[in-house]
């Protein structure tokens, strides 16, 4: 029971060990399979897709493939089933000659995920090789004096198979004098020996023929044979002897071919042929026999082929020294090959991207590399690196695998292609290195908007351009590539003078050329501002805008336009501009002015005037820039009364445009002479036998109208005279009350004129028509005048009871003395309009005729005010005078100076009961004062 328990514990420990090994392999992504050697190509090895959890549809898209070390790829992955299959015929003896367990390693690479999974495939042996001897026939020499029981080593058979299929036994046949004995070697191998079972007799048999058979343990068993020939020799009592039983040699792998590695020495005490020693290789592998050579006479072992530590690091040879009598001795030779750093690291690119997007995140796997150095020790330690300044780094992935990943985001606009050099160096001295170059193209992402060559554009376009004319070309560059860098142009929405911008200009989408779709007119549009947008072809697209300023340049396309004188309506119809120039005009006197404008701008609108043609060339001149027509000299009697002037108006454009103005100047002293001259000119211009023309008719009508108006005026004046005479007759009775009053208390016609010019008046008559009263308004224009009651309640005279004054009869009241404090201002003093120095804003009569007219109008206003029906055209309180003599002639701002006013030619007295006036003001009326005296005497 104790034995059974111990066995159960061992099984449990073995099972636990297997589970741990399986877990460790799964953690490291390691798969293990086995397959017999010599299976056909395409034989099943293992279900990789199932074991790694890969779905079959994703195998092609992820780029799953199998790679293995060496030049020959023994395995492949079936794309449809996901099975690992053999890609070549596998010979275990060829691959693993001296290795008992033959394991091939390969890796499954998932390129889409940049993952590596290791696979180990054990190649199991089959009995495909029979045991074989190095030499098919071997000759042995024995002395007839050899004692029975002596042992002689026989050739060893070699079977590349392992395990049960390897060499298992030897058999000897052919002669009763010999038997076979098998001894176990140091490594457990079988070494056959020939045993002398019966004494030899040369005289009986000089040679013995034997057959040595070697068999393996396969099913069925395979065998190999070797023929043995034993020659019986005479007696030889001393055998050769080596100086040492085992020779150990350490040689570097780079030793030159032909070098003697070691020389064996064996001595024989015999003489003659029995003392002559020869050397031979008794045991040697097939591989070693191709590398080493033994000199049979000297015992020197030389190198016939280069050593390679990576192919074999140790060799064992068995050398036999034998004399001529058949005696021999054996020695073991151990040759150890030391490693030399003769192999540079090998970099294999298992998987790599040819292109990567520039927006790939940091840490993206770019390539999967396998680095191997066949040397050992420090010579086989590899260090990998990437050149400085590159946005990549190396990460160790699995065993000797490295991953090249991005260290930061890439920018295609900075670097569009990378040649990443991965350098691998070993630890030898001197170090050997190798490199691999990864060509990586950076794919573009639309991360750059188009950029215009200029911050803003401006162009000058002459007006009157042809439709479709090229204005300018805008250019924008996009740092991206391909479709993302394809720039298209378009106009932003806008309006010009209420019309869409697209009706004025257009832009070519591919080239950015800006064209004018219509002819521009500077006088309508002087400047056009617009925006051009550039868009790339990315998804989504990026864009940028630029402002374009289009300045319309003026062209001299408008001739000067004459505003005055206007052009004649039709040829022969008369003159558009007729000017009067007195014959007494002095040189430089302004006659007329030619007014012209030009719709252009700049120097195209600068106008100059020239006198192109004149009836008397030296009589008039024209201002170069003003267009003023002035006399150049005194007119002479011989000068024609009608002068025709042709003035040319030119601009300063290139070429200059011009216009002409025809001006007729008549040299006359009066309007009648002007009309006569124009009438005669019109008659002369008319054709013979035809009427004088419309101008003559209009002149006749104008003269008739003026005559009628003059006649009507005379009749009106006569009527006014008669009316005044009648008024004087009616007021004759009241005239006696004025007698005895000093003349200085009255104001003459000039004073009335100034008084009426400055103040507003309100004229009314008393109940009886014998008295007239001029009532002044309460407003005052002088700040120095004393305050007064409202105009509705007249202020009483000094010393008078207000109530009594209202009850008193105005006629019986004594006349107040003039107010000496009241004065006319400078602008209010009586006199003609010429004596006021032009300061008055209104128009006043300046001759005797107008003065008499004013007197008549004042009397008429006074009479009509008494009747209550004014017909002189003025409003209330205006007496009809403001319409003729200006807006200042109103009756609303006159202070309440109730001063007696005497109107020449009338017996009415305009009184102001409250006012006094200085005698000097009444006496300053000049000639009008004399007239008043005459009237008074009458």
Q: For 294-313, what is the HEC assignment? A: ECCCCCEEEECCCCCCCCCC
pLDDT at 703: 85
Max mean pLDDT range (258-272, 402-416, 559-573, 767-781): 402-416
Question: pLDDT above 70 covers what percent of the chain?
Answer: 70
pLDDT of residue 12: 57
Q: Which residue has the higher pLDDT, 631 or 747?
A: 631
Tokens linked to 516: 């004018």
Q: Around Cβ 737, how many Cβ atoms within 10 Å? A: 15
Q: Which of 54-68, 241-255, 765-779 has the highest mean pLDDT?
A: 241-255
DSSP per-residue letters across 92-134: HHHH-SS-SSEEEEEEEEETTTTEEEEEEEEEE--S----EES
Q: Among residues 936, 934, 938, 881, which one has the least CA distance to residue 752?
A: 881
pLDDT for the residue numbered 361 = 93
* 102-156 tens-digit pLDDT: 888 888 888 777 788 888 999 888 888 889 888 889 888 888 888 899 998 888 8
Of 370-374, 666-670, 676-680, which range is least confident? Answer: 676-680
What pLDDT does 570 receive?
A: 54
For residue 709, the surrounding DSSP H or E stretch is helix 694-730
**CB proximity list for 171: less than 8 A, separation 6 or greater:** 180, 212, 213, 214, 215
Question: Taking a C-beta distance cutoff of 8 angstroms, is the pair 420, 366 a contact?
Answer: yes
pLDDT at 516: 94
- What was the pLDDT predicted at 776? 40
pLDDT score of 382 more than 70: yes
What would you report as the CA-atom Rg of the chain, rounded to the nearest whole angstrom?
A: 73
Q: What mean pLDDT is predicted for residues 830-846?
A: 39
- The mean-pLDDT minimum among 558-567, 575-584, 778-787 falls in 778-787
- Say if residue 317's pLDDT is above 80: yes
Q: What is the pLDDT of residue 673?
A: 72
**Tokens 């050899």, residue located:** 146
Report the pLDDT averaged over residues 767-795.
Answer: 40
Nearest 5°: CA angle at 727, between 723 and 728?
120
In what helix (H) or strand (E) does residue 584 lie, and over which residues does it extend? none
Q: How confident is the model at residue 562 (pLDDT cuts 50, 70, 90)?
A: very high
User: Token pair 């009053």 is at which residue?
Assistant: 741
Q: What is the Cα–Cα distance from 483 to 879, expressed in whole angstroms?
A: 94
Query: Nearest-CA neighbor of 766 among 846, 866, 627?
Result: 866
Q: How many CB atoms lie within 10 A of CB 512?
A: 21
Residue 392, pLDDT above cutoff 70: yes
Q: How far apart are CA 91 and CA 41, in angstroms?
A: 12
| Mean pLDDT of the region 466-481 | 93
> What is the Cα–Cα distance from 544 to 197, expressed in whole angstroms?
111
Question: Would the pLDDT of 13 be above 90?
Answer: no
405-416 per-position pLDDT tens digit: 999 999 998 999
Pull the structure tokens for residue 823: 């004065």
Per-residue confidence (pLDDT) for residue 860, from 0 to 100: 55
What does the alpha-carbon distance between residue 86 and residue 421 come to, in Å, rounded to a whole number? 34
DSSP 58-77: HHHHHTEEEEESSS---EEE
Confidence band of 186 (pLDDT split at 50, 70, 90) = confident
Instruction: Name the pairing type of β-strands 607-614 and 642-651.
Output: antiparallel
Q: Alpha-carbon distance 172 to 210, whole Å?
A: 7
Give the pLDDT confidence score for residue 590 in this predicted structure. 92
Joined together, the tokens standing for residue 235 give: 């007696």
Other residues' Cβ atoms within 10 Å of the Cβ of residue 699: 17
Segment (H or E) for 557? none
In this structure, what are the phi and psi dihedrals at residue 685, rounded to the nearest 5 degrees?
Answer: -75, -25
For residue 342, what pLDDT is reported? 87
Mapping DSSP to helix (H, G, I), strand (E, B) and coil, where does residue 172 land?
A: strand
**Amino acid 637: pLDDT:** 84
Strand (E) or helix (H) holding 137:
strand 137-143
**Contact status, residue 160 vs residue 123, Cβ threshold 8 Å:** no
- Per-residue pLDDT band at 732 (split at 50, 70, 90): low
pLDDT tens per residue across span 285-314: 888 888 999 999 999 999 999 998 888 889
Angle at the Cα of 599 (from 462 to 627), degrees rounded to 5? 130
Report helix, strand or coil for 621: strand
The tokens of 514 are what?
A: 């800006």
Secondary-structure percent of the chain, ordered helix, strand, coil, rounded to 5: 20, 35, 45
Closest Cα to residue 152, out of 162, 160, 137, 142?
142
**Average pLDDT of the residues in 600-606:** 89
Mean pLDDT of 188-204: 86
Q: What is the dihedral of CA 128, 133, 134, 137, to 10 degrees?
A: -140
750's tokens: 């000039």
- Determine the pLDDT at residue 861: 52
HSE-up (13 A, CA, CB side) for residue 777: 17
Mean pLDDT value across residues 28-49:
86
Residue 831: pLDDT above 90?
Answer: no
Contacting residues for 431 by C-beta, under 8 A, at least 6 apart: 341, 425
Q: Is 782 exposed, middle or buried (0-12, 13-18, 19+ CB in 10 A)?
A: exposed
Find the mean pLDDT for residues 727-751.
52
SS (H, E, C) 816-837: CCCCCCCCCCCCCCCCCHHHHC
Average per-residue pLDDT for the chain: 76
Secondary structure class of 745 (helix, strand, coil): helix
At residue 344, what are phi and psi to the nearest 5 degrees? -75, 155
Handedness of CA 372, 375, 381, 387 (dihedral sign): negative
817 vs 178, which has greater pLDDT? 178
Question: Distance of alpha carbon 887 from its chain centroid, rounded?
Answer: 70
* Three-class secondary structure of residue 129 per DSSP: coil
For residues 354 and 358, what is the distance between their CA atoms, to the nearest angstrom? 13
252 DSSP β-pair partners: 338
Distance of CA 896 to the CA centre of its chain: 85
| 65/110 Cα distance (integer angstroms) | 7
Task: Give the whole-angstrom CA distance, residue 281 versus residue 292.
Answer: 10
* Chain segment 894-910, per-residue pLDDT in tens: 344 334 443 444 444 44
In the predicted model, is pLDDT for residue 22 greater than 50?
Answer: no
Question: In terms of DSSP bridges, do strands 417-426 and 772-776 run parallel, antiparallel, or are they unpaired?
Answer: unpaired
- Tell me, what's the pLDDT at 684? 59
Pair of tokens at residue 308: 């390679």
Distance CA 492, CA 543 (A): 12
In angstroms, what CA-CA distances link 331 with 194, 200, 317, 322, 717? Answer: 19, 27, 8, 12, 180
Q: Give how far the C-alpha of residue 435 lies from the chain's centroid of Cα atoms, to the nearest Å.
A: 43
Average pLDDT of 459-478? 93
pLDDT given for residue 682 in this prediction: 59
Q: What pLDDT is attached to residue 844? A: 42
* pLDDT at res. 822: 38
Whether residue 105 contacts residue 118, with contact meaning beta carbons closer than 8 Å, is answered with yes
Which pLDDT score, from 0 to 100, does residue 523 have? Answer: 87
**Cis status, amide bond into 65, omega within 30 of 0:** no
358 contacts: CB under 8 Å, gap ≥ 6: 409, 410, 411, 412, 442, 443, 444, 445, 447
Cα–Cα nearest to 202, from 146, 286, 137: 146
Does residue 25 register a pLDDT over 70?
A: no
- Alpha-carbon distance of 429 to 451, in angstroms, equals 56
**CA–CA dist 296, 702 (Å, integer):** 166
From 122-131, 220-229, 823-832, the region with the lowest mean pLDDT: 823-832
């Amino acid at each position: 029971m104790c034995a059974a328990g111990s066995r159960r514990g061992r099984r449990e420990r073995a099972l636990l060990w297997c589970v741990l090994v399986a877990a460790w392999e799964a953690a490291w992504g390691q798969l293990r399979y086995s397959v017999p050697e010599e299976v056909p190509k395409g034989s099943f090895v293992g279900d990789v897709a199932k074991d790694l959890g890969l779905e079959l549809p994703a195998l092609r898209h992820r780029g799953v493939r199998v790679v293995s070390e060496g030049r020959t790829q023994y395995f492949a992955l079936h794309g449809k089933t996901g099975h690992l299959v053999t890609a070549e015929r596998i010979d275990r003896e060829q691959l693993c000659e001296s290795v008992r367990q033959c394991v091939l390693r390969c890796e499954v690479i998932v390129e889409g995920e940049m993952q590596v999974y290791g696979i180990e495939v054990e190649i199991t042996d089959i009995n495909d090789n029979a045991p074989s001897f190095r030499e098919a026939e071997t000759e042995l020499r024995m002395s007839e004096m050899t004692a029975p029981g002596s042992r002689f080593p026989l050739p060893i058979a070699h079977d590349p198979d392992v395990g049960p299929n390897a060499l298992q036994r030897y058999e000897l046949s052919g002669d009763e004098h010999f038997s076979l004995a098998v001894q176990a070697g140091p490594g457990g191998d079988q070494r056959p020996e020939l045993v002398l079972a019966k004494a030899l007799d040369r005289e009986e048999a000089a040679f013995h023929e034997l057959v040595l058979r070697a068999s393996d343990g396969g099913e069925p068993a395979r065998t190999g044979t070797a023929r043995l020939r034993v020659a019986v020799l005479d007696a030889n009592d001393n055998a050769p002897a080596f100086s040492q039983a085992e020779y150990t040699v350490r040689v570097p792998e780079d030793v030159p071919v032909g070098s003697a590695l070691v020389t064996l020495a064996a001595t024989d005490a015999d003489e003659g042929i029995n003392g002559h020693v020869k050397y031979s290789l008794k045991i040697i592998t097939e591989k070693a026999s191709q590398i080493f050579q033994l000199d049979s006479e000297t015992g020197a072992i030389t190198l016939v082929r280069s050593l390679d530590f990576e192919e074999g690091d140790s060799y064992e040879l068995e050398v036999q020294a034998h004399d001529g009598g058949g005696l021999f001795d054996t020695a073991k030779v151990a040759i150890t090959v030391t490693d030399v750093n003769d192999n540079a690291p090998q970099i294999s690119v298992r998987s790599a991207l040819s292109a990567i997007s520039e927006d790939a995140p940091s840490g993206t796997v770019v390539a999967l590399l396998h680095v191997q150095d066949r040397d050992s020790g420090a010579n086989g330690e590899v260090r990998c690196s990437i050149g400085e300044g590159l946005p990549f780094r190396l990460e160790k992935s699995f065993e000797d695998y490295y991953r090249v990943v991005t260290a930061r985001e890439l920018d295609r606009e900075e670097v569009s292609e990378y040649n990443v050099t991965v350098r691998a160096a070993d630890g030898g001295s001197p170090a050997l290195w190798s490199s691999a170059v990864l060509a990586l193209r950076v794919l573009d992402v639309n991360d750059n908007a188009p950029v215009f060559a200029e911050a803003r554009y401006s162009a000058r376009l002459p007006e009157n351009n042809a439709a479709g004319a090229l204005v300018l070309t805008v250019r924008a560059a996009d740092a991206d590539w391909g479709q993302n860098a394809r720039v298209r142009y378009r106009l932003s929405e806008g309006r010009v003078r209420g019309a869409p911008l697209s009706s004025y200009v257009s832009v070519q989408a591919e080239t950015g050329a800006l064209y004018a779709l219509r002819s521009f007119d500077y006088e309508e549009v002087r400047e056009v501002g617009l925006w051009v947008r550039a868009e790339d072809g990315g998804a989504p697209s990026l864009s940028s805008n630029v402002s374009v300023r289009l300045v319309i340049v003026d062209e001299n396309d408008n001739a000067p336009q004459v505003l005055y004188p206007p052009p004649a309506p039709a040829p022969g119809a008369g003159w558009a501009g007729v000017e009067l120039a007195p014959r007494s005009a002095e040189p430089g006197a302004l006659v007329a002015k030619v007014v012209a404008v030009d719709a252009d701008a700049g120097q195209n609108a600068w106008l100059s005037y020239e006198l192109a043609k004149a009836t008397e060339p030296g009589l008039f001149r024209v201002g170069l820039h003003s267009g003023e027509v002035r006399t150049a000299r005194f007119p002479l009697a011989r000068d024609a009364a009608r002068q025709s002037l042709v003035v040319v108006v030119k601009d300063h454009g290139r070429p200059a445009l011009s216009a002409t103005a025809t001006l007729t100047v008549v040299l006359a002293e009066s309007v009648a002479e002007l009309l006569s001259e124009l009438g005669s000119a019109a008659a002369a211009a008319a054709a013979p036998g035809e009427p004088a023309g419309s101008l003559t008719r209009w002149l006749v009508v104008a003269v008739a109208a003026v005559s009628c108006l003059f006649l009507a005026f005379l009749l009106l004046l006569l009527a006014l005279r008669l009316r005044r005479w009648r008024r004087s007759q009616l007021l004759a009775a009241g005239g006696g009350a004025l007698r005895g009053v000093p003349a200085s208390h009255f104001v003459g016609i000039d004073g009335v004129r100034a008084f009426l010019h400055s103040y507003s008046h309100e004229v009314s008559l008393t109940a009886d028509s014998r008295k007239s009263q001029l009532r002044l308004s309460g407003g005052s224009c002088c700040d120095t005048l004393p305050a007064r009651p409202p105009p509705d309640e007249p202020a009483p005279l000094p010393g008078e009871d207000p109530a009594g004054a209202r009850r008193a009869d105005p006629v019986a009241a004594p006349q107040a003395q003039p107010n000496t404090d009241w004065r006319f201002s400078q602008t209010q003093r009586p006199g003609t309009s010429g004596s006021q120095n032009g300061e008055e804003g209104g128009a006043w009569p300046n001759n005797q005729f107008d003065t008499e007219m004013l007197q008549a109008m004042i009397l008429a206003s006074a009479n009509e005010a008494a009747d209550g029906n004014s017909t002189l055209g003025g409003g209330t309180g205006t007496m009809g005078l403001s319409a003729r003599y200006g807006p200042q002639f109103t009756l609303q701002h006159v202070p309440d100076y109730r001063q007696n006013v005497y109107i020449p030619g009338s017996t009415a007295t305009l009184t102001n009961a409250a006012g006094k006036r200085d005698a000097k003001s009444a006496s300053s009326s000049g000639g009008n004062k004399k007239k008043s005296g005459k009237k008074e005497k009458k």
